[in-house]
Amino acid sequence: MSGVIQNPSVKVRIPTPLRKLTNNEELVYINALTVDGAINALQTRFPGIQERLVDDKGEVRRFVNVYVNEEDIRFLKNRETPLKDGDEISIIPAIAGG
């Protein structure tokens, strides 16, 4: 067998405030091994998106919630959360109480 082993293909849901950077695309498919890798892959495709999501120390901004398959990554392995084919990442701003 030949060919390069591809990183898992995952779907990313882009929130409204970031769609100016993704040419209004709401769903984006990328290949990445971890959430961190996914943020890097997004940055390669949509320059400028990384600094919206992480601060200068590389931490996910405190008002950004990231979910993998509907689970908050803070209940998983944060940025090191591993990804597999078909996973879905949602990026969602924190919202108020109710």
Partner 1 sequence: MKALKCRECGREYPLEATHVCEFDFGPLEVAYDYDRIKKSLTKAAIESRPKTMWRYRELLPVATEPTVGRQVGFTPLIKADRLAKELGIRELYVKNDAVNYPTLSFKDRVVSVALSRAKELGFDTVACASTGNLANSVAAQAASAGLKSYVFIPSDLEQGKILNSLIYGANVIGIKGHYDEVNRLCAEIAGKFGWAFVNVNMRPYYAEGSKSMAYEIAEQLGWRLPQHTIVPMASGSLLTKIHKGYQEFVKLGLVANSETHIHGAQATGCSPISVAQKAGLDFFKPVKPDTIAKSLAIGTPADGFYALKVMRDTNAAADDVTDDEIRDAIKLLAETEGIFAETAGGVTVGVAKKLIASGKIPKDSSAVICVTGNGLKTLDAVNGYCGKAREIKPSLREFEALLAQQEKVNA
Q: Which is nearer to partner 1, 5 or 80 (CB)?
A: 80
DSSP3 helix / strand / coil % (the chain, rounded to 5): 25, 30, 45
Write out the two tokens for 40.
């890097």
Q: In what order do the strands lie in the sheet with 9-13?
A: 27-31, 9-13, 88-93, 64-68, 71-72
- The distance of closest approach from Cβ of residue 4 to partner 1 in the complex, given in angstroms and rounded to an integer, is 34
CA-based max dimension of the chain: 55
| Binding of partner 1 by 63 (CB under 8 A) | yes
Min dist. Cβ of residue 76 to partner 1 (A): 11
Among 12, 18, 30, 68, binds partner 1 (CB under 8 A): 18
Q: Which residues bind partner 1 (CB under 8 A)?
A: 13, 15-18, 20, 26, 52, 61-65, 67, 70, 72, 74-75, 90, 92-98
